[in-house]
A and B are shown apart, each in its own frame.
Chain A
Amino acid sequence: MALVFVAASGHSPSAAASAFWEGAFGDRTAFATTLEQAIPLMFVALAWIIAFNAGRFHVGFPGQIMVAGTVIGAIALTFSAPRVVQLPLAIVGGMIGGAAYAGVMAWLWARFGVNEILSSLLLNFIAFEYLAWIVRGPLQEPMHVQPSTDILKGTARWPILLTDTSLKWDLFLVPFLVVGMVFLLKRTRLGMRIRMVGASEPVARHAGVRTVRMGVYAMLISGALAGLAASSLLLAGDAPEMTDDFESFVGFHGIAVALLARNSPIGVIPAAILFSALTQGSTLVEALVGVSSAVADITQGIVILLVLSATTILYFLRSSRRGIVRTARAPEASVSRPEAG
C-alpha cells in the first residue's frame, strides 16, 4: 500500500522496498534501532491494556510521558551518582511522575465523575505547556538558546547492549513486564477484579468489588507504565538531552500498537516492532530514494484504521454467530460514572 504512494511520487517502488527493508531490518545496526524504538511503544501499549481491562479508556499517555520526562530530567541532571543508584532512581522517579499525573485524572474521575477521555485530553495540553516551560526555564541548557535541557548525565542512562548500535539494556524490561502484565491480569486478585469491573461494572459491584478503587488502580498502573516509556525514550534514546518534543507521538502510537495486538500483552511485542519498522524503514527510504518519510505516517494511520475496523467487525460477527446478544463491552464501560461511596 505504501508502494502506491511511492509510485505516485515517481520513484521506483522496488528501490524503495529494498531501501525500506535495509532501513528496518537490513543489518545489525538497523534492526537494533528498530528494536530500541519499539520498546517505549510496547510500554505505552501495556499501559493502554491495563486501563482497557478496567474499562477506562484514557488517552493521557502523551501527558504522562511528558510529566514523567521532567522528573527523569531533573534526576538525571541535578546530581551525579553511580549508575546503580542514579539510573534506577530516574526510572522509578519517572514511573511515579507518570502515575502521579494519571492520579489527577483518576481523582477527577473518582471524585467528580469527570469522564477520563476528556480530562486526559485536557491534561495532555497542560503537560505540553508545562514541558515547554521546563525546557525553556528551570532545566534549560546553560547557554539558554535551545528549547532543550543540558546533556543528561551518563550515569543515568541505560548502558548499551550491543556494541555500535543504539540497543540498550532496557530491552530486558520487556519480557519481564509482558509476563508481569499477563500474571497480574490472569493470576492475581487485583487483576481479576480489574477485569470484572471492565467486563460489567454492575456485576462487579454486586460481587462486592470496589469498582471505583479498581478503576483508580488501573489508571495509576497505566500512568506508571507511561512513565516507564518516558524513561526508555530519554535514557535509552539516541538524543542525549530532553527536548520539548521528545514524546514524538509515542503516546498515541502506543494505543495503535495495543489495538494491533488486539489488547494481548504478548501480541504487543510483534505489533510494536512492526510499527517501529515502518518508521525506521521509511527514514532510509527518504535518505536513499528521496521519497518523503511522511509515507510512513500515512501507512501507520491506515493500518490503525483498518485494524480497528476489522477487529470490531470480527468481534460483532463472532458474538452474533454465538447468538449472544450483547453490546460491545468496551464502549459500554467508557462512560460509566463512578457510583458515590
Chain B
Amino acid sequence: MTILAAYGPFDAIFLGSVLILTTPILIAAVGEMISERAGVLNVGLEGMMLAGAFFSYWATWRSGNLGVGLLVGIAAGAAFGVIMGVVSIEARANQIVAGVGINIVAIGLVTFVYDQVFGSRALVTVGRIHTWDIPLLSDIPGIGKAVFANSPLVFLAFLLVPASWFLLYRTKWGLSIRAAGELPVAADAAGVSVRRVQWTGLLVAASLAGLAGAFLSIDQLGLYRNGLSGGRGYLALVAVIFGRWHPSGVLGASLALGGTTALALRLQSQGDVPPEVWMVIGVIGAVAAALATRTAINRGRSPAAPLVALGLAIAGFVLYATAPSLDLPDQLWRSLPYLIALVVLAGPGGAVRMPSHLTIPYRRGT
C-alpha cells in the first residue's frame, strides 16, 4: 500500500486506528450528551457498555446472527438504563452514586454470567461485522482504505453527530430536552413532562452505550473477555465534559481522546518521542492560541487561555528544534486528554456551559 502524506508516526494506519478508537467513545458520548442535556448524569455508562459488549457477543454466539447480537447489545444497555431511571428519576436518588452502583452491578453480573457460560470453554470467536467499502472514496490512495473502508458502525458514529445536533437544536423534542436540563420548572409550566423527557434522554444514552459495547466485542474483536470496555465509558463521560455538551465539541473531544490513545499505543513501541510529534503539538498550540486570542479580544476576557495555548505552541516548536532524546512514559500521553479537559473546564466560560440542572432531580410542585 502506498502511503501518501505520512508525517513521522502520523500515517494512514494511524488515522485508521484513531477512527476505530474514537468510534465507541463517540457513540456513547453522543448519547450521554443528550442525557446530560436533559439533566441526568449517567456515570453508569461504563457498566452499560460492558453489558452491551458481553450480551451482544453471547447472543451472536447463540444465534449465529450479528443483527440479533447488535439488538441484544443495545437492549442490554437499555435494561441498565431502566434501572438507572427508576433509581435516579423515579426515586430521585443521587445520580452519581446510582451510576456507581450500576457499574458495580453490571460488572458483577457480566463477570458472573461469563463465568457460568464460557468459564470452562476455550475462547470462542464469533463472526465480525463486515467492513463497507464506500465506492470511489475508498479508492483514494493512502487514506482511502483507512477512512472509507470501515465497519458501518464507524460511519454511523460520525453520522450521529449531525443527527444529534439536528435533534437537539431543530426539533421540539430537542427543545424539551434542553429545557429539562436547564430550567425544568419552565419546561413543566410549558406542558412538557420533565420525567418523560429525562427518561427518553437516559434511555438513548443507555442504548447507545450498549451499541458502543457491541462495537467493541462483535465488531472489532469477534470475542469477549472480562474488562473489555477498559474505561471507555468513563472516556465518553470525559468527552461530553470536554466537548462542553455540544455535538461538535463532543466530536472534537472524542477525536482528541481517540487520537491520544492511538498515539500512546504507537509511541509505546518506540523509545524516543519522534520530533514530528512535537511539531504537531506546536501547530495545535498555535491554532488554539489564535482561536483563543480572537475569543478573548471579542469578548474582553482575560488573556489566560491564549497564553496557555501560546506556551504550548512555543514548547512544541522548541522541542521540535532541539529534538531532545526523551523517553516519555505513555501514561503521560494517556493523561493528556484529562488535563486538557480540566483546563477547558477552568477556562473562560468553561463551567457556564454545563446544563444548570445537571444531577438535580426534578420534583413537581415545589
- Seen from chain A, the residues whose Cβ lies within 8 Å of a Cβ on chain B are 5, 8-9, 57, 59, 108, 111-115, 117-119, 121-123, 125-126, 129-130, 132-133, 136-137, 249, 252-253, 255-256, 259, 292, 294-302, 304-305, 308-313, 316, 325-328, 330-332, 334-335, 337
Contacts and interface: CB of A to CB of B under 8 A. Distances in A.
A312 B354 contact: no
Contacts of A331: 94, 359-361
B87 interface: yes
Helix, strand, loop or mixed for chain A's interface? helix
B100 A304 contact: yes
B129 interface: no
B158 interface: no
B337 to A, nearest CB: 9
B234 A125 contact: yes
Contact of A300 (B83, B98, B104, B354): B104
A149 B47 CA distance: 30
Interface in B76-125: 83, 86-87, 91-94, 96-98, 100-109, 111-112, 115-116, 119
Contacts of A299: 108
A312 B101 CA distance: 15
B187 interface: no
A214 to B, nearest CB: 20
A309 B97 contact: no
B116 A292 contact: yes
A308 B109 contact: no
A294 B342 contact: no
Helix, strand, loop or mixed for chain B's interface? helix
Contacts of B93: 308-309, 311-312
A294 B108 contact: yes
B209 interface: no
Contacts of B105: 297-298, 301-302, 305
Interface residues of B, number: 54
A294 B111 CA distance: 6
A119 B343 CA distance: 10
11 contacts: A59-B96, A117-B41, A122-B238, A126-B342, A137-B329, A252-B100, A312-B91, A328-B361, A332-B360, A335-B354, A335-B359
Ranked nearest first, the 8 interchain pairs of A and B with the lowest CB-CB distance are: A297-B108, A301-B105, A301-B104, A304-B101, A294-B111, A309-B91, A298-B108, A129-B335
Contact of A114 (B104, B350, B357): B350
Contact of B101 (A301, A310, A313): A301
Contact of A335 (B115, B329, B358): B358
Contact of A316 (B92, B94, B109, B241): B92
Contacts of B86: 309
A115 B354 CA distance: 9
B194 to A, nearest CB: 14
Nearest to B359: A334
Contact of A108 (B92, B234, B342): B342
B250 interface: no
Contacts of A113: 351
Contacts of B331: 129-130, 132-133, 136
A256 B97 contact: yes
B49 to A, nearest CB: 16
A312 B125 CA distance: 44
Contacts of B345: 108, 112, 114-115, 118-119, 122
A121 B101 contact: no
Contact of B360 (A136, A252, A253, A335): A335
In this complex, the member of A5, A252, A311, A337 whose beta carbon has the largest number of chain B beta carbons within 10 angstroms is: A252
